[in-house]
């Protein structure tokens, strides 16, 4: 692209010809034309590199005026002494004494300033030689074996709750990251959405052969990096499997341990958005004299997406997050896979930038010289079914009159036989709903967390508080669901001979709460699920209950296999004061979807009154 031509314009240093003097009118001498000079326009070229679209401005030539030449050469300069091939020996005032100053390096390619530099397309990713230094490997190997923390400009090793190693400035040529991201834009992404996770993912990198930078990073991982990790950890590693992942707003990966088949080491290469560091700004200061340093560029902690490690209880089950690592561009994180390696990817809260990474596992045989692996934590105990209690409960004081009529029950039964599920809206009387909602906000009600974190996370009314007794509305609601009168009502609506029930729960749900698919023993027998949502915040916040058939390939579960939400048998959205009845055959499991922190304020919550009935 060039600037508009100015060949038809007179330079600013030219003046109009002077009026002829008295002696010139009859001299007969020809008037001398102005001094000839080459007219060249200033060329402004907007170009880019072979691999980048960064803008650059290159000026090839410039035509200086006489005034500028005098200013440069000094006051003693005169046009008669000019050595320019276009200068004139005339002293006439109308002659143009401007000269042409040409750039001797006009043919040299201009240096191009780039905001997001790319590497040459023919370059390969290079492992940082500082990380490959033998002295660093020896020190890190010793600290890894003795499980001692270690920190240097190149590497950080933390050992609690389990060993996690971070390689800073992983690639020697970090501009290669932008090439990888460019190639990611050409890939086919599939949406992964199940109880455990929600994000976008590509196929295995081994099958992506025509994206040069991605193929290069895959080759680097399975050669130099795998050998380096093997030397540090002492593990025999034979192969690598990896894929690209993209986490958008609300995406997450819940608690799991990665323990599957021959996985030995899990790794994540962060490709977080990179921006050149801004100049150092002075700390922000308010009127009180407090100072706060401003953050500039890169991925910030408030964007979420952190790798979070969880501690374990005495039984080996995960409990709470005790260590968190935020994404950082050009950083490789890895840890040994085992029964203790419970971790999760925090929900991404950024509405503008995605969390990009290349993640996978190094595979190898089981170590021979290491102590025996810890036994797997024992499974959760199955709830013990019990018969309904026979205390007097007046259903008319709780249930809307519509559902008490034989005609309505027959219609509900027909719906159940056809669809195996039904939703009874406005189940409780309005005054009872208001009384119950106010009682749930009572500070005297005691709540307890329910775990373990690799299966569920929410709060429920504490059993000890329920056992204390009293005429509290919360206790009365739970007694209603476990009463013989309510069980008979459900039997009339479903045509099931219900005889037992598991202890009902009144659950409190807030941001970041969830349940995952339970072990096989929990859904091995037919059952009737009853779910009553109270104060539901809406389907966009999550919290809906999804029913799938895991053994038919319709679920992912903690193992990470299977399909997505499209394979759901039934999905129950949250709806205030609506009772959902779902009949489940043997092999049908359920989970309650993660409640998003983006759409539900921290102070907001909703409640679920849940009970399982069996014939």
Domains of the chain, CATH where assigned: 1-115 (no CATH), 134-275+298-363 (2.60.120.620), 395-614 (2.60.120.620)
Query: Which positions ≥6 away from 527 have C-beta within 8 Å?
Result: 583, 584, 612, 613, 614
pLDDT band at 297 (very low <50, low <70, confident <90, very high): low
Question: Encoding tokens for residue 192?
Answer: 């992964």
In the 8-state DSSP scheme, what is residue 474? H
What number is the average pLDDT over the span 279-285?
48
Span 160-185, pLDDT tens digits? 999 999 999 999 999 999 999 999 99
Q: How far is CA 447 from CA 160, 410, 474, 606, in A?
A: 29, 38, 12, 14
Span 307-323, pLDDT tens digits? 999 999 999 999 999 99
Using CA atoms, how far apart are residues 301 and 19, in angstroms rounded to an integer? Answer: 77
State residue 120's pLDDT score: 87
What number is the average pLDDT over the span 3-30?
42
Question: Encoding tokens for residue 77?
Answer: 């300069």
Give which of 581, 385, 615, 387 is closest to 502, Cα–Cα.
385
Q: How far is CA 505 from CA 199, 515, 532, in A?
A: 31, 14, 11
Location of structure tokens 């979420």: 304
pLDDT at 478 over 60: yes
The answer to whether 409 and 403 have CB atoms below 8 angstroms apart is yes
Classify 87 as helix, strand or coil. Answer: coil
Using CA atoms, how far apart are residues 602 and 251, in angstroms rounded to an integer? Answer: 18
Span 382-428, pLDDT tens digits? 888 999 999 999 999 999 999 999 999 999 999 999 999 999 999 99
Q: How far is CA 394 from CA 129, 346, 605, in A?
A: 77, 46, 29
Q: What percent of the chain has pLDDT over 90?
A: 62
* Distance linking the first and last C-alpha atoms of the chain: 80
Using CA atoms, how far apart are residues 363 and 221, in angstroms rounded to an integer? Answer: 12
> Across-strand partners of 393?
none
State residue 11's pLDDT score: 39
State residue 157's pLDDT score: 97
Q: Is it true that the peptide bond before 459 is cis, omega within 30 degrees of 0?
A: no
What number is the average pLDDT over the span 340-356?
94
Computed over every residue of the chain, the mean pLDDT equals 81
> Across-strand partners of 611?
530
The answer to whether 606 and 537 have CB atoms below 8 angstroms apart is yes
Half-sphere exposure (Cβ direction) of 352: Cα atoms closer than 13 Å: 6
pLDDT band at 241 (very low <50, low <70, confident <90, very high): very high
The torsion angles phi and psi of 173, rounded to 5 degrees, stand at -110, 85
Question: Encoding tokens for residue 64?
Answer: 């200086």
pLDDT band at 275 (very low <50, low <70, confident <90, very high): low
Using CA atoms, how far apart are residues 564 and 513, in angstroms rounded to an integer? Answer: 20
Mean pLDDT check: name the lowest of 12-16, 73-77, 466-470.
12-16
Higher pLDDT, 277 or 580: 580
Q: Is 547 exposed, middle or buried (0-12, 13-18, 19+ CB in 10 A)?
A: buried
What number is the average pLDDT over the span 498-514?
94
pLDDT at 303 over 90: yes
Within 106-224, strands assigned E span 150-151, 155-158, 164-167, 190-193, 197-201
Question: Encoding tokens for residue 143?
Answer: 């600290």
Higher pLDDT, 285 or 384: 384
The answer to whether 514 and 457 have CB atoms below 8 angstroms apart is yes
Q: Report the chain's C-alpha Rg in angstroms.
A: 37
State residue 115's pLDDT score: 55
State residue 35's pLDDT score: 42
pLDDT at 538 over 90: no
List the alpha helices (DSSP H) in 124-203: 134-146, 176-184
Long-range CB pairs of 600-604, under 8 A, 24+ apart, other chains included: 600/510, 600/511, 600/537, 600/541, 600/542, 601/511, 602/510, 602/511, 604/510, 604/511, 604/537
pLDDT at 30 over 50: no
Using CA atoms, how far apart are residues 579 and 443, in angstroms rounded to an integer? Answer: 26
Q: How far is CA 93 from CA 32, 68, 85, 190, 591, in A?
A: 12, 17, 19, 77, 94
The answer to whether 534 and 478 have CB atoms below 8 angstroms apart is no
The answer to whether 235 and 364 have CB atoms below 8 angstroms apart is yes
Using CA atoms, how far apart are residues 410 and 499, in angstroms rounded to an integer? Answer: 20
Location of structure tokens 């009935």: 613
Query: Which positions ≥6 away from 113 have C-beta within 8 Å?
Result: 54, 56
State residue 450's pLDDT score: 95
Using CA atoms, how far apart are residues 436 and 439, in angstroms rounded to an integer? Answer: 5
In the 8-state DSSP scheme, what is residue 225? I
pLDDT at 348 over 80: yes
Within 434-577, strands assigned E span 447-450, 456-461, 500-501, 505-509, 514-515, 527-534, 545-548, 570-572
């Amino acid at each position: 692209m060039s600037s508009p031509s100015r060949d038809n314009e007179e330079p600013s240093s030219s003046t109009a010809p002077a009026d002829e003097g008295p002696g010139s009118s009859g001299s007969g001498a020809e008037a001398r034309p102005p001094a000839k000079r080459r007219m060249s326009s200033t060329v402004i070229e907007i170009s880019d590199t072979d691999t980048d679209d960064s803008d650059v401005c290159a000026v090839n030539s410039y035509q200086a005026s006489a005034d500028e030449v005098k200013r440069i050469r000094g006051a003693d300069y005169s046009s008669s002494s000019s050595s320019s091939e276009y200068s004139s020996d005339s002293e006439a005032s109308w002659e143009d004494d401007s000269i042409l100053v040409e750039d001797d390096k006009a043919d040299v390619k201009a240096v191009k300033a780039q905001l997001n530099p790319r590497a040459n397309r023919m370059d390969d990713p290079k492992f940082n030689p500082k990380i490959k230094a033998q002295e660093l490997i020896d020190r890190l190997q010793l600290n890894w074996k003795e499980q001692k923390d270690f920190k240097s400009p190149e590497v950080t090793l933390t050992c609690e709750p389990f060993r996690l190693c971070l390689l800073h400035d992983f690639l020697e040529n970090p501009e290669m990251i932008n090439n990888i991201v460019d190639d990611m834009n050409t890939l086919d992404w599939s949406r992964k959405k199940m109880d455990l996770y929600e994000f976008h993912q590509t196929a295995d990198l081994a099958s992506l052969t025509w994206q040069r930078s991605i193929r290069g990073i895959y080759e680097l991982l399975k050669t130099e990096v795998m050998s380096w990790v093997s030397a540090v950890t002492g593990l025999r590693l034979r192969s690598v499997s990896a894929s690209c992942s993209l986490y958008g707003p609300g995406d997450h990966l819940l608690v799991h341990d990665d323990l599957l088949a021959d996985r030995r080491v899990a790794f994540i290469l962060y490709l977080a958005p990179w921006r050149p560091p801004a100049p150092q700004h002075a700390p922000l200061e308010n009127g009180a004299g407090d100072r706060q340093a401003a953050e500039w560029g890169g991925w910030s902690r408030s964007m979420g997406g952190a790798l979070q490690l969880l501690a374990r209880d005495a039984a080996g089950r995960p409990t709470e997050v005790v260590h968190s690592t935020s994404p950082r561009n050009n950083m490789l994180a890895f840890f040994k896979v085992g029964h203790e390696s419970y971790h999760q990817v925090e929900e991404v809260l950024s509405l503008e930038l995605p969390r990009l990474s290349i993640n996978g596992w190094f595979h190898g045989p089981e170590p021979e010289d290491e102590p025996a692996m810890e036994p797997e934590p024992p499974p959760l105990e199955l709830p013990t079914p019990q018969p309904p209690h026979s205390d007097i409960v007046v259903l008319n004081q709780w249930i809307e009159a519509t559902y008490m009529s034989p005609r309505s029950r027959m219609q509900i039964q027909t719906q159940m036989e056809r669809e195996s599920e039904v939703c009874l809206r406005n189940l409780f009387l309005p005054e009872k709903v208001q009384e119950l909602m106010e009682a749930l906000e009572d500070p005297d009600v005691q709540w307890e967390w329910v775990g373990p974190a690799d299966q569920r996370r929410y709060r429920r009314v504490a059993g000890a508080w329920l056992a204390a007794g009293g005429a509290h509305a919360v206790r009365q609601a739970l007694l209603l669901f476990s009463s013989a009168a309510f069980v008979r009502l459900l039997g009339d609506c479903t045509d099931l001979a219900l005889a037992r029930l598991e202890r009902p729960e009144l659950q409190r749900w807030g941001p970041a709460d969830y349940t995952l698919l339970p072990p096989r023993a929990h859904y091995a027998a037919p059952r009737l699920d009853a779910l009553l949502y109270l104060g539901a915040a809406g389907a966009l916040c999550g919290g809906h209950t999804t029913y799938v058939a895991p053994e038919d390939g319709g679920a992912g579960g903690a193992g990470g296999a299977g399909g997505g939400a499209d394979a759901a048998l039934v999905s129950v959205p949250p709806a205030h004061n609506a009772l959902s009845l779902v009949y489940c055959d043997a092999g049908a499991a359920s989970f309650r979807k993660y409640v998003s922190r983006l759409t539900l304020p921290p102070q907001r919550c909703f409640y679920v009154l849940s009970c399982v009935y069996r014939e």
